[in-house]
């Protein structure tokens, strides 16, 4: 990691697999910003911005926001000064169009690492159904696997933890269906470039992180 070119870490994987938790650990290790498109959209919804008002009902139904809106949002974010040395993308790209747009906008000398997180569907449903999110700072907990120190209170900012509307069982199934449809072309896209590294999330948070560290250090 003595590379002076920007380092772009892309996290792929189904909703609920634990990408957000892993992203925060990777951010601490690499000291580059974590960009979660879901978090940006949820902040906009909370603040009732035009972007939030436009996308709220789509997100609550578990559907994808249009490529046009997402691409504009991400390109704006990665152009900021704090992204000069690199960044971690969590939840983007989710479609082939997004992957092409991202590729065109990156420094050709950038080092790109793609981590593909996977787990069985049963594991994902268990994880999502116990997931608690802080609407204030975005920190994610799990009632069993990663509980907050005080029940339903965020360790980070002491605000109340909630279940996301789109983490309800029926909506999760819709999100997984959309994920299955979109992921194959993305896997192919990054596989052809030999950039994809697969990580099992069946074990603990630390086990998954250890696999990522090995790959990122090479
Ligand atoms: P996430 O927190 O990554 O699960 O994202 C929550 C929701 O935000 C998704 O179900 C989509 O509605 C929307 N979203 C986030 N990222 C994207 C993206 N790259 N493309 C389209 N919609 C997205």
What is the distance between the alpha carbons of residues 67 and 74, in angstroms, rounded to a whole number?
10
The predicted pLDDT at position 145 comes to 86
Single pTM value for the model: 0.90
Two tokens, residue 15: 């909703």
Residue 90 has pLDDT above 70, yes or no: yes
Q: What is the pLDDT of residues 197-210, one digit of tens each?
A: 999 999 999 999 99
Catalytic residue among 46, 84, 94, 177: 94
Cα 70 to ligand 1 centroid, rounded to whole Å: 9
41-64: per-residue pLDDT in tens?
A: 999 999 999 999 999 999 999 999
Task: pLDDT band for 125, please (50, 70, 90 cuts).
Answer: confident
Task: Report whether residue 91 contacts ligand 1, using a CB cutoff of 6 Å.
Answer: yes
- Structure-token match 């189904």, residue found: 14
Ligand 1 within 6 A of CB of 131: no
Token pair for residue 8? 């772009």
How many whole angstroms from 93 Cα to the centroid of ligand 1? 10
Q: What is the pLDDT of residue 33?
A: 97
Give the C-alpha separation, 146 to 130, whole Å: 10
157: buried, middle or exposed (CB in 10 Å: 19+, 13-18, 0-12)?
exposed
Q: How confident is the model at residue 77 (pLDDT cuts 50, 70, 90)?
A: very high
Q: What is the C-alpha to C-alpha distance for residues 63 and 61, in angstroms, rounded to an integer?
A: 6
pLDDT at 113: 97
Q: Please state the separation of Cα 67 from the chain's center in Å.
A: 16
Is 42 annotated as catalytic?
A: no
| φ, ψ at 203 (rounded to 5°) | -90, -150
142 Cα–ligand 1 center, Å: 20
pLDDT, position 129: 85
Residue-level pLDDT at 3: 55
């Amino acid at each position: 990691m003595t590379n002076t070119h920007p380092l772009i870490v892309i996290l792929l994987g189904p909703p609920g697999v634990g990408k957000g938790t892993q992203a925060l650990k990777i951010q601490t290790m690499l000291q580059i910003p974590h960009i979660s498109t879901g978090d940006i959209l949820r902040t906009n919804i909370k603040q009732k911005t035009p972007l939030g008002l436009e996308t709220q009902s789509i997100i609550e139904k578990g559907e994808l926001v249009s490529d046009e809106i997402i691409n504009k949002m991400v390109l704006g974010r990665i152009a900021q000064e704090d992204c000069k040395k690199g960044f971690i993308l969590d939840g983007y790209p989710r479609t082939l169009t997004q992957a092409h747009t991202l590729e065109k906008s990156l420094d050709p000398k950038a080092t790109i690492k793609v981590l593909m997180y996977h787990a069985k569907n049963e594991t994902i449903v268990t994880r999502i159904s116990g997931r608690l999110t802080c609407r204030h700072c975005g920190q994610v907990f799990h009632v069993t696997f990663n509980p907050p120190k005080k029940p339903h209170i965020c360790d980070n900012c002491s605000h109340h933890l909630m279940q996301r509307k789109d983490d309800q069982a029926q909506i999760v199934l819709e999100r997984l269906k959309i994920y299955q449809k979109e992921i194959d072309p993305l896997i192919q896209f990054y596989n052809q470039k030999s950039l994809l590294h697969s990580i099992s999330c069946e074990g603990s948070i630390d086990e998954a992180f250890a696999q990522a560290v090995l790959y990122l250090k090479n």
